[in-house]
Amino acid sequence: MTPSGPTIRPTGTAQVLGAALGALFVVRLGLAWWQGQGGSLPIPSYPAWASIVLITVGIAWLAHTTRRLIARDRTLLDPEQAVTRLLLGKTSQVGGALLFGTYGALAWAAAGALPAPLAIERVIHAGIAVPACVAWVVAGRALEAACRVPDDEGGDDSPDTPSGDGASPN
């Protein structure tokens, strides 16, 4: 069965890893340049990671409710709202990966000044933000997966095929 409308492919792991590694190296180079100009590293505090945790909880909750709603009756979810949730899941993966790279670069840059008190504070808060960003990526992936509509005819519903039609993911 061919899809009746356009399909959106799942966000690839390579895309998420590319965003994370790209941010890590670009931000690290930027921070090294900034320090070379006499600037100091930013000092993150609890809002840096607490906001990420709150966003992650919200995305995870939305993924859970979306999965339950679609499993019960997929017609209960408006198609526009489903696409919005799908895009929120995709954006969460990329956004979480970018912040992962950013906070990872900050922790990496600050680690060179350990055991200075400000370096310890930077490493601790950035070190808490990094796994929070990973959780955000996982929650985004769960939301994206929850938005998959099962095939009416019981076809292949693997995560590798965007519409459950058995087509190649490429």
- Structure-block tokens of residue 85: 């949730």
Please check the confidence at residue 115 and state whether its pLDDT lies above 60: yes
Structure-block tokens of residue 164: 């459950």
**Cα–Cα separations (whole angstroms), residue 51 to 73, 93, 121, 133:** 33, 16, 18, 10
Q: What pLDDT sits at residue 3?
A: 57
Flag whether pLDDT at 71 surpasses 80: yes
Helices (H), 10-169: 13-36, 46-72, 79-111, 117-146
Q: 77 falls in which pLDDT band (50, 70, 90)?
A: confident
What whole-number distance in Å separates Cα of residue 99 and Cα of residue 24? 9
Model pTM greater than 0.85? Answer: no
Q: Please compute the mean of the pLDDT values over residues 20-44 and round it to a whole number.
A: 95
Residues 6 or more apart whose Cβ sits within 8 Å of residue 94: 11, 15, 16, 19
